[in-house]
């Protein structure tokens, strides 16, 4: 996707790979309060006249930062340490730039680039599928400036995730947050990537986690952030203040007058996809074997508990289960579903060939059907 197209003033969802032309630590003194870092520690102190007096040098020793006493005013001024530089320093060695020649371009100077995150120390890198799907002659550049030839090994367009392999050892893998993710809207996040130009590798931007469980423009739920995500940031990490990758940056909303609307694939989905890559060589995705339609409320984004409608029964297993066109689908394996994203998220727990129960309304009656899942 070209840069000029990405920057179109027409409102649209855009993958944020960039097309460019060549030439153009440990956080001492901070602890989690909820899901955000706040200063905390144990200080030297004395009780005098019913008041607790904390030794000023103890504050800076425990929390870092700096302080000064003004004898004239009898006041002490303290400036807290900033954990963000430490997080960037911790994560940046695990972030790489990916550049290559997009298929169909004859101009030797036309290059497509994005970002990747080191998954394993022996050269496995996770990035977006749309970054590498149509990229030839991949080159991967690590944060220390070393260049490697990259090989696209796996990619999955439905999740927009891919794996690239380079012949390297002793790389520094990123720390990915544990599943299920425990996040709070409003906590600080950092995006690291290669925006606009390949010369801008390991650019860091900050913001907050603006929202969770977003479904716009994706088959799976996404994280929303106001941290700047620009063309070329695709495949880079979204990081919390513990230095953990909580998402892989994938897309932004591009429109005249719209700012700071970026989206990341949460690590729950990243782990699911990579596990399937290594176990099956692809995402061994399960399907109900039916074509579904969302309710009007779900399509326009209204709060809804409306079921999905089965428009077409495609697999033999779905026919055998008794599912029919026109049935209303309420739940899969006991989980209520009201959108297509709900369906794909629920089916992440299964593989083809497994059996699930689905709750449907058929002919005016609520019934439970047993269904063998097909390949999706």
Distance, in Å, from the CA atom of 213 to the CA atom of 305, rounded to the nearest integer, reads 16
160 belongs to the catalytic site: yes
Alpha helices in the chain (DSSP H): 3-6, 56-63, 84-91, 129-132, 267-280, 296-300, 316-321, 340-346
Distance, in Å, from the CA atom of 343 to the CA atom of 330, rounded to the nearest integer, reads 10
Two structure tokens written together for 51:
């008041």
Distance, in Å, from the CA atom of 226 to the CA atom of 229, rounded to the nearest integer, reads 8
Q: Which of 130, 250, 339, 342 is catalytic?
A: 130
Q: Which of 94, 143, 160, 315 is catalytic?
A: 160
DSSP state of 277: H
- Are the C-beta atoms of residues 152 and 135 closer than 8 Å to each other? yes
Residue keyed to tokens 């508990």: 305
Q: Which residues make beta-bridge pairs with 111?
A: 20
Distance, in Å, from the CA atom of 331 to the CA atom of 357, rounded to the nearest integer, reads 8
- As a whole number of Å, the CA-based R_g of the chain is 25
Residue keyed to tokens 């799976």: 220
Q: Which of 94, 143, 188, 234 is catalytic?
A: 234
Residue keyed to tokens 């709060």: 303
Distance, in Å, from the CA atom of 315 to the CA atom of 319, rounded to the nearest integer, reads 6
- Are the C-beta atoms of residues 309 and 326 closer than 8 Å to each other? yes
Q: Give the list of residues 6+ apart from residue 34 with CB closer than 8 angstroms, or none.
A: 184, 187
Exposed e or buried b for every residue in 106-117, given b needs 16+ CB within 10 A? Answer: eeeeebbbbbbb
- Are the C-beta atoms of residues 127 and 162 closer than 8 Å to each other? yes
| Of 375, 218, 354, nearest in space to 285 by CA | 375
113 belongs to the catalytic site: no
Residue 4 DSSP SS3: helix
234 belongs to the catalytic site: yes
- Are the C-beta atoms of residues 154 and 132 closer than 8 Å to each other? no
Q: How many alpha carbons fall within 13 Å on the CB side of residue 284? A: 14
Q: Which residues are catalytic?
A: 130, 160, 234
């Amino acid at each position: 996707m070209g840069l000029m197209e990405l920057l179109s003033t027409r409102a649209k969802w855009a993958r944020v790979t960039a097309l460019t032309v060549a030439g153009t630590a440990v956080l001492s003194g901070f602890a989690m309060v909820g899901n955000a870092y706040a200063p905390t520690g144990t200080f030297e102190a004395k009780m005098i006249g019913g008041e607790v007096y904390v030794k000023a040098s103890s504050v800076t020793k425990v929390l870092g930062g700096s302080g000064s006493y003004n004898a004239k005013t009898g006041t002490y001024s303290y400036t807290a340490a900033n954990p963000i530089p430490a997080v960037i320093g911790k994560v940046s060695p695990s972030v790489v730039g990916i550049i290559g020649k997009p298929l169909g371009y004859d101009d030797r100077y036309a290059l497509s680039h994005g970002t990747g995150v080191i998954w394993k120390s022996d050269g496995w890198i996770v990035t977006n599928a749309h970054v590498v799907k149509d990229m030839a002659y991949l080159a991967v550049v690590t944060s220390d400036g070393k260049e490697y030839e990259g090989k696209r090994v796996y990619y999955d367009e439905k999740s927009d995730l891919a794996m690239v392999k380079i012949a390297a050892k002793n790389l520094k893998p990123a720390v990915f947050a544990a599943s299920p993710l425990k996040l709070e809207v409003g906590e600080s996040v950092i995006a690291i990537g290669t925006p606009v130009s390949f010369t801008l590798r390991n650019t860091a931007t900050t913001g907050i986690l603006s929202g969770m469980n977003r479904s716009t423009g994706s088959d799976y739920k996404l994280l929303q952030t106001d941290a700047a995500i620009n063309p070329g940031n695709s495949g880079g990490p979204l990081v919390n203040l513990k230095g953990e990758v909580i998402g892989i940056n994938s897309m932004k909303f591009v429109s005249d007058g719209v700012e700071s609307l970026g989206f990341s694939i949460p690590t729950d989905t990243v782990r699911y996809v990579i596990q399937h890559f290594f176990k099956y060589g692809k995402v061994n995705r399960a399907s109900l074997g039916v074509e579904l339609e969302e309710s009007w409320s779900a399509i326009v984004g209204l709060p809804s508990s409306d079921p999905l409608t089965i428009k077409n029964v495609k697999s033999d297993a779905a026919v055998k289960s008794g599912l029919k066109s026109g049935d209303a689908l309420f739940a899969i394996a006991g989980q209520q579903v009201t959108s297509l994203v709900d369906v794909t998220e629920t089916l992440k727990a299964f593989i083809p060939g497994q059996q699930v129960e689905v709750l449907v309304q058929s002919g005016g009656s609520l019934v439970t059907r047993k269904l063998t899942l097909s390949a999706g």
